[in-house]
């Protein structure tokens, strides 16, 4: 899957349109965690620009965990993932209504295969119980089974 995604030339337009529709059906979600896309991930930046009424927060690697911050200024962080610059206001996990999660692969049971370091699983395990966990991917990333382990956090929904 890593090899497939590095050569992928698919547009993020379909996933962004699906996210637009999803957001219309969830007007109560105010604070939403997103990510700065790596090559091979759905780029949600255009969709985010179309919804300035929401509070979009971005993850920052802090030790073994993710913290979330407003994302007015993103800079390259560890692993060359863009993240909020130092001094960006922190948003506590209990304030986040939904998490839009990237991954390498997803299955129809909500399984998510991440990049192997467990940042999202550790974070989502400590999120509010009612916070939605939404996997974002391209159709080619849907697989029959991600073979989840006991520490893996399932997605509530997969959007592609």
Name the pLDDT band for 2 (thresholds 50, 70, 90). Answer: low
The pairing of strands 74-76 and 82-84 is: antiparallel
Furthest-apart CA atoms within the chain: distance in Å: 42
Task: Convert the pLDDT of each residue in 42-78 to its tens digit.
Answer: 999 999 999 999 999 999 999 989 999 998 899 998 8
Q: What is the pTM assigned to this prediction?
A: 0.93
Task: Convert the pLDDT of each residue in 4-28 to its tens digit.
Answer: 776 666 789 999 999 999 999 999 9
pLDDT of residue 7: 67
User: Does any domain span residue 87?
Assistant: yes
- Number of domains the chain contains: 1
Range(s) of the domain holding residue 30: 2-139
CATH number at residue 81: 3.40.50.10420
User: Does any domain span residue 7?
Assistant: yes
Task: Convert the pLDDT of each residue in 124-144 to its tens digit.
Answer: 999 999 999 999 999 999 999
């Amino acid at each position: 899957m890593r090899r497939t995604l590095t050569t992928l030339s698919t547009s993020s337009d379909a996933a962004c349109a699906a996210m637009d529709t999803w957001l219309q059906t969830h007007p109560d979600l105010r604070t939403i965690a997103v990510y700065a896309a790596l090559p091979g991930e759905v780029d949600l930046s255009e969709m985010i620009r179309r919804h300035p009424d929401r509070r979009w927060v971005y993850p920052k690697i802090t030790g073994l965990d993710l913290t979330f911050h407003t994302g007015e200024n993103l800079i390259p962080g560890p692993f060359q993932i863009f993240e909020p610059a130092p001094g960006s206001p922190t948003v506590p996990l209990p304030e986040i209504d939904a998490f839009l999660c990237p991954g390498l692969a997803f299955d129809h049971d909500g399984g998510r295969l991440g990049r192997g370091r467990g940042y999202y699983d550790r974070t989502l395990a400590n999120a509010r119980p009612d916070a939605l966990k939404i996997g974002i991917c391209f159709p080619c990333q849907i697989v029959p089974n991600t073979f989840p382990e006991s520490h893996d956090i399932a997605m509530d929904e997969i959007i592609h």
